[in-house]
């Protein structure tokens, strides 16, 4: 992981393995969230064994590893569309059975793993859109990275570190010139096809999420510091909410 706070550098080459995803989470906690991960930020092995006994099957490796590392860390998992506690993992009957691990904050969407894929160590993830269950990301390890980025982005809602605007196309060139694309695959915004795909961009101390490819698509931004957020606003002139 890099010495500086640039998400695009930390994920250069993409999320290569389950271990790489967890290394990124550790780096992000330490570098961006101001507190490194501690043992109490995860669920214990005995707790996860009990969850497996209750469900009647073993948790896939990528899911269990994430819960063990940071499943109790609220600033990284439970701000906007929260991760369920391990004890609340449950099966939805849709599509032959889905293991649900995350939900939209008003209950409008769910994230889940098909039970048919549970035998894999790092299986694909689906999201429940307005109309149907659709592919979200093709590995759980990718979904961990997306969750941490999104939850920490919206968790910075203290007027100093987070802002949003409908970015005019006139500012797109500046976005592409000043911010590197984070090598996380395109993924859908559950709320609307018009807001998809979701893409991430970064510079040192700055993180940008763009929802959709159209003129005046929403961007959500976070600065590692208040000064970093001010830099984003100067870099990308637009009708900022705050």
pLDDT in tens, 66-104: 999 999 999 999 999 999 999 999 999 988 899 999 999
Res 130: pLDDT: 74
Res 158: pLDDT: 61
- Mean pLDDT, the chain, integer: 93
pLDDT in tens, 21-34: 999 999 999 999 98
Res 118: pLDDT: 87
The domain ranges of the chain are 152-235
Model pTM score: 0.95
Res 39: pLDDT: 97
Question: Which one has a higher pLDDT value, 177 or 159?
Answer: 177
- pLDDT for 157 beyond 70: no
Res 119: pLDDT: 86
pLDDT in tens, 182-207: 999 999 998 777 788 999 999 999 99
pLDDT band at 38 (very low <50, low <70, confident <90, very high): very high
Range 152-235 classified under CATH 3.30.160: yes
In three-state form (DSSP H/G/I as H, E/B as E, the rest C), the secondary structure along the chain is: CCCCCCHHHHCCCCCCCHHHHHHHHHHHHHHCCCCCCCHHHCCCHHHHHHHHHHHCCCCCHHHHHHHHHHCCCHHHHCCCCCECCHHHCEEECHHHCEEEEEECCCCCCEEEEEHHHCCCCCCCEEEECCCCEEEEECCHHHHHHHHHHHHHHHHCCCCCCEEEEEECHHHHHHHHHHCEECCCCCECCCCCHHHCCEEEEEECCEEEEEECCCCCEEEEEEECCHHHHHHHHHHCCCCCCC
- pLDDT for 149 beyond 90: yes
């Amino acid at each position: 992981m890099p010495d500086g706070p640039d998400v695009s550098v930390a994920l250069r080459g993409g999320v290569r393995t389950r271990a790489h995803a967890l290394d990124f989470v550790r780096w992000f906690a330490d570098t961006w969230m101001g507190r490194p991960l501690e043992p109490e930020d995860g669920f214990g092995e005995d707790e996860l064994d009990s969850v497996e006994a209750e469900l009647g099957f073993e948790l896939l490796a990528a899911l269990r590893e994430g819960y063990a590392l940071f499943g109790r860390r609220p600033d990284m998992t439970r701000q906007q569309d929260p991760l369920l506690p391990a004890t609340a993992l449950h099966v939805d009957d849709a599509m032959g059975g889905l293991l649900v691990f995350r939900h939209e904050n008003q209950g409008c969407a769910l994230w889940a793993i098909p039970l048919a894929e549970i035998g894999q160590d790092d299986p694909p993830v689906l999201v429940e859109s307005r109309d149907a269950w659709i592919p979200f990301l093709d590995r759980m390890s990718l979904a961990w990275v997306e969750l941490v980025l999104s939850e920490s982005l919206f968790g910075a809602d203290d007027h100093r570190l987070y802002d949003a605007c409908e970015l005019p196309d006139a500012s797109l060139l500046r976005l592409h010139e000043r911010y590197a694309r984070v090598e996380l695959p395109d993924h859908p915004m559950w709320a609307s096809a018009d807001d998809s795909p979701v893409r991430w961009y970064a510079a040192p101390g700055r993180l940008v999420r763009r929802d959709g490819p159209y003129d005046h698509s929403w961007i959500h931004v976070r600065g590692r510091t208040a000064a970093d957020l001010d830099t984003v606003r100067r870099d990308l002139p637009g009708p900022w909410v705050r």
